[in-house]
Amino acid sequence: MIWDWSLVREALPPMLRGFGMTILATILATVVALILGLLIAIVRRSAPKVISVPIGAVVEFIRSTPLLVQLFAVFVIFNQLTAFQVGITVLGIHYATYMSEVYRAGIDGVPKGQWEAATALSMSPSRTWTAVVMPQAVRAILPAMTNYAISMFKETPFLAVIGVAEMVFEAGEVGSFHFRFLEVYTIAGLLFLLASYPTSLLARRLEKRLAN
């Protein structure tokens, strides 16, 4: 038999539990990436060079090294953390370096007159950022942020190498027990497709709507 439906029935429950872990990891890592990415963008844009230059070097280092290597390194060095904590942290920081560049592009895209108007109205720096700059920047960068979140979702299988029980990890466990991998990895691919493709369509619609 090429396709074993009994194996599919056996694999689905643990894989769906792993899928929930995949979704949770994606959400938490996205929150980390969004917050840290914004902080990096603001610091690199506004802080003195003695601060912004080293941070820029760290950002380039993270972007230039593989995610898999970063996961292994942090997992070994910070062995007091759980595999899930390491996965969320590394995934969030890795994508924060990319999102920071998106934030910078959005912030730089705010017309200079908006900054000058805020200064003329004696708005505080925090008020300028929250009421004037960020609402306009977020509108421009939201589609790109959504695309990065989808990419992050599709890279959660890397967490399996440090023992996070996400969907691909569970698929591998079932496949190893039965020495059959066609069914379990096909199901994993289909679940990723069912989750990411509608989100990609939504991101495209959002991009078109914001462009109008």
pLDDT (tens digit per residue) in 31-87? 999 999 999 998 988 888 899 899 999 999 999 999 999 999 999 999 899 999 999
DSSP 37: H
Per-residue exposure over 171-190, b if at least 16 CB sit within 10 Å of its own CB, e if not = bbbbbeeeeeeebbeebbee
Task: Specify the CATH number for the domain of residue 17.
Answer: 1.10.3720.10
pTM value is 0.86
pLDDT (tens digit per residue) in 140-196? 788 888 889 999 999 999 999 999 989 999 999 999 988 889 999 999 999 999 988
Residue of 152 and 2 predicted with greater confidence: 152
Scanning the structure block, which residue is given the tokens 């506004």? 46
Scanning the structure block, which residue is given the tokens 């895209």? 109
The domain in which residue 169 lies consists of: 5-211
Give me the number of domains the chain comprises. 1
**Which residue type sits at 145?**
M
Scanning the structure block, which residue is given the tokens 């890795």? 94
Q: Which residues contact 144 (CB under 8 A, 6 or more apart)?
A: 102
